[in-house]
Amino acid sequence: MHDLIKRYVEETVRHLPAKEREEVALELEANIEDMLGGDSSREKVEEALLALGSPATLARQYRGKERYLIGPETFDLYVMVLKIVSLVVGLVTMVITFVSLFFASDPINIAQMIAKVLASVFSSLSSAFLWVTITFAIMSYYQVKTEPDQWNRKTLYELEEAPTRRIKKSDSIGDMVGLSIFFVLLIVMYSRSDLIAIYRKGTGPIPLFVSQAIKPYIIGWMITTILTFSIAVVKYAKQFWSTTLFALSALADLVGLCYFIFLSTRWSIYNPDFLIFIPGSMDRWQIIIKAACVVLLILTLISLADDAYTVFKRTRPNESAKEPAR
Protein backbone atom coordinates (compact mmCIF):
# COMPACT_ATOMS: atom_id res chain seq x y z
CA MET A 1 0.00 0.00 0.00
CA HIS A 2 1.24 3.47 -0.87
CA ASP A 3 2.43 5.40 2.17
CA LEU A 4 0.13 8.35 1.38
CA ILE A 5 -2.89 6.06 1.32
CA LYS A 6 -1.89 4.47 4.61
CA ARG A 7 -1.47 7.84 6.32
CA TYR A 8 -4.70 9.14 4.81
CA VAL A 9 -6.68 6.12 6.03
CA GLU A 10 -5.15 6.27 9.52
CA GLU A 11 -5.88 9.99 9.83
CA THR A 12 -9.46 9.45 8.65
CA VAL A 13 -10.34 6.63 11.05
CA ARG A 14 -8.68 8.52 13.93
CA HIS A 15 -11.78 10.73 14.02
CA LEU A 16 -14.11 7.74 14.34
CA PRO A 17 -15.11 5.61 17.34
CA ALA A 18 -12.67 2.75 17.97
CA LYS A 19 -15.23 0.04 17.21
CA GLU A 20 -15.80 1.43 13.69
CA ARG A 21 -12.21 2.10 12.66
CA GLU A 22 -11.24 -1.29 11.30
CA GLU A 23 -14.36 -1.69 9.16
CA VAL A 24 -14.13 1.86 7.79
CA ALA A 25 -10.42 1.46 7.09
CA LEU A 26 -11.02 -1.66 4.98
CA GLU A 27 -13.91 0.00 3.12
CA LEU A 28 -11.94 3.18 2.50
CA GLU A 29 -8.88 1.29 1.23
CA ALA A 30 -11.09 -0.64 -1.19
CA ASN A 31 -12.69 2.57 -2.46
CA ILE A 32 -9.29 4.16 -3.04
CA GLU A 33 -8.06 1.10 -4.94
CA ASP A 34 -11.13 1.30 -7.18
CA MET A 35 -10.44 4.99 -7.82
CA LEU A 36 -6.84 4.23 -8.74
CA GLY A 37 -7.86 1.59 -11.28
CA GLY A 38 -4.57 -0.23 -10.97
CA ASP A 39 -2.47 2.91 -11.43
CA SER A 40 -0.52 3.34 -8.19
CA SER A 41 1.65 6.21 -9.36
CA ARG A 42 2.16 9.08 -6.96
CA GLU A 43 0.26 11.51 -9.21
CA LYS A 44 -2.77 9.20 -9.42
CA VAL A 45 -2.75 8.60 -5.65
CA GLU A 46 -2.58 12.34 -4.96
CA GLU A 47 -5.44 12.96 -7.40
CA ALA A 48 -7.62 10.32 -5.74
CA LEU A 49 -6.93 11.47 -2.19
CA LEU A 50 -7.50 15.13 -3.04
CA ALA A 51 -10.79 14.20 -4.66
CA LEU A 52 -11.91 12.45 -1.45
CA GLY A 53 -11.37 15.62 0.59
CA SER A 54 -9.71 16.10 3.95
CA PRO A 55 -9.66 13.15 6.36
CA ALA A 56 -11.74 15.10 8.90
CA THR A 57 -14.42 15.88 6.29
CA LEU A 58 -14.50 12.31 5.07
CA ALA A 59 -14.71 11.04 8.66
CA ARG A 60 -17.83 13.14 9.22
CA GLN A 61 -19.42 11.43 6.23
CA TYR A 62 -18.66 8.01 7.67
CA ARG A 63 -19.94 9.12 11.05
CA GLY A 64 -23.27 10.02 9.49
CA LYS A 65 -23.68 13.16 11.59
CA GLU A 66 -21.90 16.42 12.21
CA ARG A 67 -20.17 17.19 15.49
CA TYR A 68 -21.96 19.94 17.38
CA LEU A 69 -23.30 20.60 20.83
CA ILE A 70 -26.86 21.57 19.85
CA GLY A 71 -27.84 20.52 16.36
CA PRO A 72 -29.88 22.66 13.94
CA GLU A 73 -32.78 20.21 14.14
CA THR A 74 -33.31 20.88 17.85
CA PHE A 75 -31.87 24.41 18.24
CA ASP A 76 -35.20 26.25 17.99
CA LEU A 77 -36.80 23.94 20.54
CA TYR A 78 -33.69 24.29 22.72
CA VAL A 79 -33.99 28.09 22.76
CA MET A 80 -37.71 27.91 23.51
CA VAL A 81 -37.28 25.45 26.40
CA LEU A 82 -34.32 27.44 27.74
CA LYS A 83 -36.43 30.60 27.81
CA ILE A 84 -39.30 28.86 29.59
CA VAL A 85 -37.10 27.13 32.14
CA SER A 86 -35.06 30.28 32.79
CA LEU A 87 -38.19 32.36 33.31
CA VAL A 88 -39.86 29.87 35.60
CA VAL A 89 -36.73 28.97 37.57
CA GLY A 90 -35.75 32.62 37.95
CA LEU A 91 -39.16 33.68 39.24
CA VAL A 92 -39.56 30.71 41.56
CA THR A 93 -36.07 31.20 42.98
CA MET A 94 -36.74 34.88 43.51
CA VAL A 95 -40.00 34.23 45.35
CA ILE A 96 -38.53 31.44 47.49
CA THR A 97 -35.49 33.55 48.39
CA PHE A 98 -37.63 36.55 49.33
CA VAL A 99 -39.90 34.40 51.47
CA SER A 100 -36.97 32.69 53.23
CA LEU A 101 -35.28 36.03 53.93
CA PHE A 102 -38.50 37.56 55.16
CA PHE A 103 -38.90 34.86 57.78
CA ALA A 104 -35.19 34.63 58.62
CA SER A 105 -34.38 34.85 62.32
CA ASP A 106 -31.38 37.16 61.82
CA PRO A 107 -32.04 40.77 60.73
CA ILE A 108 -30.95 41.73 57.22
CA ASN A 109 -30.86 45.07 55.40
CA ILE A 110 -32.16 45.87 51.91
CA ALA A 111 -28.74 45.74 50.23
CA GLN A 112 -27.98 42.31 51.66
CA MET A 113 -31.42 41.06 50.68
CA ILE A 114 -31.01 42.24 47.07
CA ALA A 115 -27.53 40.72 46.88
CA LYS A 116 -28.74 37.36 48.19
CA VAL A 117 -31.68 37.32 45.78
CA LEU A 118 -29.49 38.18 42.78
CA ALA A 119 -26.94 35.54 43.79
CA SER A 120 -29.63 32.89 44.15
CA VAL A 121 -31.23 33.79 40.83
CA PHE A 122 -27.85 33.77 39.03
CA SER A 123 -26.98 30.39 40.53
CA SER A 124 -30.34 28.87 39.61
CA LEU A 125 -30.22 30.26 36.06
CA SER A 126 -26.70 28.87 35.61
CA SER A 127 -27.88 25.45 36.71
CA ALA A 128 -30.93 25.66 34.45
CA PHE A 129 -28.74 26.60 31.47
CA LEU A 130 -26.34 23.76 32.23
CA TRP A 131 -28.96 21.01 32.54
CA VAL A 132 -31.07 22.15 29.58
CA THR A 133 -27.94 22.35 27.41
CA ILE A 134 -26.74 18.92 28.55
CA THR A 135 -30.17 17.43 27.84
CA PHE A 136 -30.32 18.82 24.30
CA ALA A 137 -26.68 17.96 23.64
CA ILE A 138 -27.52 14.33 24.43
CA MET A 139 -30.60 14.56 22.19
CA SER A 140 -28.48 15.96 19.36
CA TYR A 141 -25.78 13.31 19.83
CA TYR A 142 -28.32 10.49 19.56
CA GLN A 143 -30.24 12.35 16.83
CA VAL A 144 -33.54 12.36 18.70
CA LYS A 145 -36.28 13.73 16.48
CA THR A 146 -38.25 16.55 18.08
CA GLU A 147 -40.66 17.21 15.22
CA PRO A 148 -42.73 14.77 13.17
CA ASP A 149 -41.33 14.35 9.68
CA GLN A 150 -44.65 14.42 7.86
CA TRP A 151 -45.93 16.32 4.87
CA ASN A 152 -49.08 15.03 3.26
CA ARG A 153 -52.48 16.18 2.10
CA LYS A 154 -53.79 16.33 5.66
CA THR A 155 -51.07 18.63 6.92
CA LEU A 156 -51.42 20.72 3.77
CA TYR A 157 -55.09 21.41 4.42
CA GLU A 158 -54.42 22.07 8.08
CA LEU A 159 -52.42 25.15 7.06
CA GLU A 160 -55.69 26.90 6.24
CA GLU A 161 -57.09 26.13 9.69
CA ALA A 162 -54.01 26.96 11.74
CA PRO A 163 -54.45 30.76 12.17
CA THR A 164 -57.82 30.32 13.91
CA ARG A 165 -56.34 27.80 16.35
CA ARG A 166 -53.29 29.80 17.41
CA ILE A 167 -52.55 29.83 21.14
CA LYS A 168 -51.07 33.11 22.30
CA LYS A 169 -47.61 32.70 23.76
CA SER A 170 -48.39 35.41 26.30
CA ASP A 171 -51.28 33.32 27.65
CA SER A 172 -49.13 30.21 28.01
CA ILE A 173 -46.29 32.15 29.63
CA GLY A 174 -48.76 33.84 31.99
CA ASP A 175 -50.13 30.44 32.99
CA MET A 176 -46.65 29.03 33.62
CA VAL A 177 -45.56 32.03 35.68
CA GLY A 178 -48.77 32.07 37.71
CA LEU A 179 -48.64 28.33 38.33
CA SER A 180 -44.98 28.54 39.35
CA ILE A 181 -45.68 31.25 41.90
CA PHE A 182 -48.70 29.34 43.15
CA PHE A 183 -46.57 26.20 43.51
CA VAL A 184 -44.10 28.17 45.63
CA LEU A 185 -46.98 29.35 47.81
CA LEU A 186 -48.08 25.73 48.24
CA ILE A 187 -44.57 24.85 49.39
CA VAL A 188 -44.70 27.69 51.90
CA MET A 189 -48.14 26.58 53.05
CA TYR A 190 -46.90 23.02 53.52
CA SER A 191 -43.98 24.11 55.71
CA ARG A 192 -45.73 27.01 57.45
CA SER A 193 -49.49 26.62 57.13
CA ASP A 194 -49.92 28.87 60.18
CA LEU A 195 -48.83 31.92 58.17
CA ILE A 196 -52.36 32.37 56.79
CA ALA A 197 -53.84 33.73 59.98
CA ILE A 198 -55.37 36.68 61.77
CA TYR A 199 -52.66 38.71 63.48
CA ARG A 200 -53.46 40.82 66.53
CA LYS A 201 -51.27 42.94 68.76
CA GLY A 202 -50.47 41.42 72.12
CA THR A 203 -51.72 37.93 71.23
CA GLY A 204 -50.64 35.09 69.02
CA PRO A 205 -51.96 34.66 65.47
CA ILE A 206 -55.09 32.64 64.76
CA PRO A 207 -54.33 30.38 61.75
CA LEU A 208 -56.99 29.58 59.19
CA PHE A 209 -56.04 25.93 58.78
CA VAL A 210 -55.22 23.04 61.05
CA SER A 211 -51.61 22.33 60.08
CA GLN A 212 -51.58 18.52 60.35
CA ALA A 213 -54.98 18.20 58.70
CA ILE A 214 -54.20 20.22 55.57
CA LYS A 215 -50.68 18.96 54.79
CA PRO A 216 -51.73 15.74 52.97
CA TYR A 217 -54.16 17.74 50.82
CA ILE A 218 -51.45 20.25 49.88
CA ILE A 219 -49.38 17.42 48.39
CA GLY A 220 -52.30 16.49 46.15
CA TRP A 221 -52.70 20.14 45.21
CA MET A 222 -49.03 20.25 44.20
CA ILE A 223 -49.56 17.26 41.91
CA THR A 224 -52.53 18.87 40.16
CA THR A 225 -50.56 22.10 39.78
CA ILE A 226 -47.66 20.23 38.15
CA LEU A 227 -50.14 18.57 35.79
CA THR A 228 -51.62 21.93 34.76
CA PHE A 229 -48.15 23.42 34.38
CA SER A 230 -47.14 20.57 32.07
CA ILE A 231 -50.14 21.23 29.85
CA ALA A 232 -49.20 24.94 29.73
CA VAL A 233 -45.71 23.97 28.55
CA VAL A 234 -47.18 21.73 25.84
CA LYS A 235 -49.50 24.55 24.72
CA TYR A 236 -46.54 26.91 24.50
CA ALA A 237 -44.58 24.38 22.46
CA LYS A 238 -47.42 23.41 20.09
CA GLN A 239 -48.76 26.98 19.64
CA PHE A 240 -51.91 25.63 17.97
CA TRP A 241 -54.98 23.93 19.35
CA SER A 242 -55.71 20.35 18.43
CA THR A 243 -58.44 17.99 19.57
CA THR A 244 -55.99 16.01 21.70
CA LEU A 245 -54.46 19.12 23.26
CA PHE A 246 -57.89 20.52 24.06
CA ALA A 247 -58.90 17.24 25.70
CA LEU A 248 -55.75 17.21 27.84
CA SER A 249 -56.15 20.87 28.78
CA ALA A 250 -59.81 20.44 29.69
CA LEU A 251 -59.01 17.33 31.71
CA ALA A 252 -56.26 19.15 33.64
CA ASP A 253 -58.56 22.10 34.35
CA LEU A 254 -61.41 19.87 35.52
CA VAL A 255 -59.11 17.75 37.68
CA GLY A 256 -57.72 20.89 39.31
CA LEU A 257 -61.20 22.30 39.84
CA CYS A 258 -62.59 19.08 41.28
CA TYR A 259 -59.65 18.78 43.63
CA PHE A 260 -60.09 22.38 44.79
CA ILE A 261 -63.78 21.77 45.48
CA PHE A 262 -62.92 18.55 47.28
CA LEU A 263 -60.26 20.30 49.37
CA SER A 264 -62.29 23.38 50.21
CA THR A 265 -65.19 21.27 51.47
CA ARG A 266 -63.04 19.25 53.89
CA TRP A 267 -64.36 21.04 56.96
CA SER A 268 -61.85 19.38 59.26
CA ILE A 269 -58.97 21.43 57.79
CA TYR A 270 -60.40 24.73 59.07
CA ASN A 271 -59.44 26.04 62.48
CA PRO A 272 -62.62 26.48 64.60
CA ASP A 273 -61.02 29.41 66.46
CA PHE A 274 -60.58 31.25 63.17
CA LEU A 275 -64.21 30.72 62.16
CA ILE A 276 -65.46 31.76 65.60
CA PHE A 277 -63.40 34.95 65.49
CA ILE A 278 -65.11 36.09 62.27
CA PRO A 279 -68.90 36.54 62.70
CA GLY A 280 -70.92 33.68 61.30
CA SER A 281 -71.67 30.08 62.18
CA MET A 282 -70.05 27.06 60.57
CA ASP A 283 -73.19 26.48 58.53
CA ARG A 284 -72.92 29.98 57.12
CA TRP A 285 -69.28 29.44 56.20
CA GLN A 286 -70.15 26.21 54.44
CA ILE A 287 -72.77 28.00 52.35
CA ILE A 288 -70.26 30.71 51.37
CA ILE A 289 -67.60 28.17 50.41
CA LYS A 290 -70.03 26.07 48.38
CA ALA A 291 -71.30 29.18 46.57
CA ALA A 292 -67.71 30.15 45.72
CA CYS A 293 -67.13 26.65 44.33
CA VAL A 294 -70.23 26.93 42.14
CA VAL A 295 -69.09 30.30 40.77
CA LEU A 296 -65.63 28.89 40.04
CA LEU A 297 -67.22 25.89 38.31
CA ILE A 298 -69.31 28.15 36.08
CA LEU A 299 -66.31 30.30 35.13
CA THR A 300 -64.26 27.22 34.31
CA LEU A 301 -67.01 25.77 32.12
CA ILE A 302 -67.34 29.08 30.27
CA SER A 303 -63.59 29.09 29.60
CA LEU A 304 -63.69 25.48 28.38
CA ALA A 305 -66.67 26.26 26.16
CA ASP A 306 -64.74 29.11 24.53
CA ASP A 307 -61.76 26.82 23.91
CA ALA A 308 -64.07 24.12 22.52
CA TYR A 309 -65.63 26.64 20.13
CA THR A 310 -62.16 27.61 18.93
CA VAL A 311 -61.14 24.00 18.35
CA PHE A 312 -64.30 22.47 16.89
CA LYS A 313 -66.19 25.36 15.30
CA ARG A 314 -63.69 27.91 14.10
CA THR A 315 -61.33 25.29 12.74
CA ARG A 316 -63.88 23.53 10.57
CA PRO A 317 -62.50 23.35 7.02
CA ASN A 318 -64.18 25.36 4.28
CA GLU A 319 -66.59 22.81 2.94
CA SER A 320 -67.10 24.73 -0.28
CA ALA A 321 -63.42 24.42 -1.17
CA LYS A 322 -62.66 21.67 -3.62
CA GLU A 323 -59.89 19.28 -2.88
CA PRO A 324 -57.19 18.91 -5.48
CA ALA A 325 -57.31 15.93 -7.74
CA ARG A 326 -55.48 12.91 -6.46
Pick from 256, 277, 84: nearest CA to 186: 256
Indicate whether 250 belongs to any domain.
yes
* Same domain for 287 and 168: yes
Q: Picking from 67-71, 111-115, 135-139, 230-234, which range would have the lowest pLDDT averaged per residue?
A: 67-71
How far is residue 210's CA from residue 208's CA, in Å, rounded to a whole number? 7
* Same domain for 169 and 274: yes
How far is residue 216's CA from residue 231's CA, in Å, rounded to a whole number? 24
Nearest-Å Rg of the Cα atoms of the chain is 31
Mean pLDDT in residue range 236-250: 84
Contact between 208 and 197 (Cβ < 8 Å): yes
Indicate whether 143 belongs to any domain.
no
Q: What's the pLDDT at 324?
A: 42
The pLDDT tens digits for 173-231 are: 888 888 888 887 888 788 877 777 877 777 778 888 888 888 899 999 999 998 998 88
The number of folded domains in the chain is: 2
Indicate whether 134 belongs to any domain.
no
Indicate whether 315 belongs to any domain.
yes
* Same domain for 160 and 57: no
Indicate whether 23 belongs to any domain.
yes
How far is residue 62's CA from residue 60's CA, in Å, rounded to a whole number? 5
Indicate whether 263 belongs to any domain.
yes
Pick from 260, 262, 237, 238: nearest CA to 311: 238
**46 is in which domain, residue-wise?**
3-63
Q: What's the pLDDT at 149?
A: 52
Indicate whether 26 belongs to any domain.
yes
Q: Can you give the pTM of this predicted structure?
A: 0.56
